[in-house]
Structure 1
């Protein structure tokens, strides 16, 4: 398998209305040589929407998971399939994303100024914007080897334990971290996507449960402080 510089991996679950906009920013980006969308058992035509958006782009692959297994397993599938020396992880529901945001995130790593990079979106929680880092941001750039060596561990993680697990890997590896502000980009709130506040709060509670099953609350605080101290 021929290695390339940068692969973009996009896990997606029921994001047919939004994934086309994300791919519009990704496809034909000069720094991205491969795009891998992993459809996580969607029931709304997400895979078909991704294929339609990428028609004519030979470096897009759309992989289909047989059933919904959660973001972590979808990313693990993408990591296993990707050929990049580095990977760019993107959520599939981002609004306001443009090619310039991807350049800003990838360039510090590709040029060797940082070991990894993480986004800070416009609607990240106020506390994270105040302290200058969103420790559970899903938009990241890092060497593929950081995750490729942990595929078995990824498969065993809770559905939404990925980001704090990656934080642990970055800290253990001593990576310097570029925090890249994206003031024009936001991620839809769960209550907007799930059809109401109750469903949104349940989804948030499930995500927090997965985070704290992966690392204890005290470690999440240590991660925030450690990543903040490693900013370049």
Structure 2
């Protein structure tokens, strides 16, 4: 059964609807040392009533994740599995997955259970009804979220503000993982960042492409470092460089 969304008024001009029954959602899942969560997130992905192309890229995991992914692929839970022979970073894994994608919409899905595929219907709605080319899921627009680190939220807002200054957008959460993008647009973007620079880079590229961007509220269940969170303060500092570099290159 497909998820249901409101019909698009035919008289509204300037929209480019994408009928829900024609959507194939390429789910790009970069994976590094997530053996304990990968099957759970794949089950959640497969539970969403929409046609998907599930693409997992193992970024040279060392905890048994690779073997678990191979088992899940053999069981039919993964459509495309790519294996990096050296650890190259999240951005590189997303680029590998994007290159293998064929869906008319793509979305990045972290493997760590912080983001819930149940939110996809909200993310996809502006694309389905033709208002948007890309939709960002904001953790700061009122969705349910786990209460965690104050300074992380401050850092996110500072980076988002700096990104907005460079791109002339008014986003509330540039660093969000959940970015749904029309597939042909996503595959046309020039992306080079290997680690966590993917987020500011793809945001800058969408702004440069004059994409119609919407934001919607999503839920968020952040992890602590003890639970396996990987991004650190060095990545936050590096993000300023990635924002500048992406803003002045094309």
Fold match, TM over 0.5?
yes
Shorter-chain TM-score range: 0.7 to 0.9
CA distance in 2, matches of 1:149, 1:96: 26
The alpha carbon displacement at 1:148 in A equals: 1.9
CA distance in 2, matches of 1:33, 1:146: 18
User: Residue 23 of structure 1 is aligned with which of 42, 49, 66?
Assistant: 42
Matched, 1:139 2:182: no
Structure (1/2) with the larger helix percentage: 1
User: Residue 205 of structure 2 is aligned with which of 169, 173, 190?
Assistant: 169
Three-state SS of the structure 1 residue aligned to 2:177 is coil
> Which protein is bigger by CA-based radius of gyration?
2
Change (3 A) 1:111 1:14: same
Three-state SS of the structure 1 residue aligned to 2:24 is strand
For this pair of structures, how many residues does the alignment match? 203
Three-state SS of the structure 1 residue aligned to 2:191 is helix
Matched, 1:154 2:191: yes
The alpha carbon displacement at 1:187 in A equals: 2.8
The alpha carbon displacement at 1:106 in A equals: 2.2
Unaligned runs of 5+ in 1: 195-199, 220-232
Residue equivalent to 1:222 = none
Residue equivalent to 2:217 = 181
Q: Report if the CA contact (8 A) 2:73-2:81 is conserved.
A: no
Change (3 A) 1:192 1:5: closer
Residue equivalent to 1:228 = none
Deviation above 6 Å: which 4+ runs of structure 1? Answer: none
Unaligned runs of 5+ in 2: 1-21, 140-144, 147-151, 158-169
Q: Report if the CA contact (8 A) 2:115-2:221 is conserved.
A: yes
Change (3 A) 1:110 1:65: farther
Deviations 1:94-142 (A, max 9, x none): 2472x431222223223323221112232582675xx972111111100
Matched, 1:82 2:117: no
Q: Report if the CA contact (8 A) 1:4-1:85 is conserved.
A: yes
Three-state SS of the structure 1 residue aligned to 2:82 is strand
Three-state SS of the structure 1 residue aligned to 2:228 is helix
The alpha carbon displacement at 1:37 in A equals: 0.7
Q: CA RMSD in A?
A: 3.0
Residue equivalent to 1:230 = none
Length-normalised TM-score, structure 2: 0.69
Q: Report if the CA contact (8 A) 2:106-2:186 is conserved.
A: no
